[in-house]
Amino acid sequence: MDKTYNKHEKLKSKKLIDQLFTEGKSVSVYPFRMVYLETIFEDHVPFKTGVSVSKKYFKKAVDRNRIKRLMREAYRLNKTTYFNNITTPYAFMILYIGNTKPTYNHVEQSMNKLFKKFTNVTPKQTIDEKTT
């Protein structure tokens, strides 16, 4: 798995996003919440990920876009560390639920905690289901 975040890895399908929020499970590490759903993609990509920042706390688009850029960069650099061993395809939506502007270091540390929590919760269930 390479350290890119190209067009095929971005979550864009409105149907899938709606399904993600209705049927998906979530993991939270403040100031992030990740909603995930096991699914199958037509283009056989292992993960599709989207990021979102609330307009409620960040009225200016400039602030929202900056936080989203930081989130995408932290995801891009750390996805190989946490998601290499997972074989089932997932759709992710990572939400920023904080109300202050973060620094990149804070975003990266929190995203690492979030990914660690996700890998501790999810793959064990997947591995156990395959062995039984």
Domain range summary for the chain, segments of one domain joined by +? 7-114
Per-residue pLDDT for 39 more than 80? Answer: yes
pLDDT attached to residue 128: 39
pLDDT attached to residue 6: 83
Fold of the domain built from segment(s) 7-114: Ribosomal Protein S5; domain 2 (3.30.230)
Per-residue pLDDT for 130 more than 90? Answer: no
Tens of pLDDT along 10-23?
A: 999 999 999 999 99
Per-residue pLDDT for 126 more than 80? Answer: no
pLDDT attached to residue 67: 96
- Residue 96 CA to residue 92 CA, distance in Å, equals 13
Q: What is the mean pLDDT of residues 86-110?
A: 93
The predicted model scores a pTM of 0.86
Per-residue pLDDT for 125 more than 50? Answer: no
Tokens of 121: 């919760």
pLDDT attached to residue 123: 53
Question: How many residues comprise the chain?
Answer: 132
Sequence-ordered list of residues with C-beta below 8 angstroms from that of 36, at least 6 positions apart, any chain: 20, 24, 25, 26, 27, 90, 91, 92, 93, 118, 122
Per-residue pLDDT for 4 more than 90? Answer: no
pLDDT attached to residue 41: 87
pLDDT attached to residue 5: 85
- Mean pLDDT estimate for the chain: 88
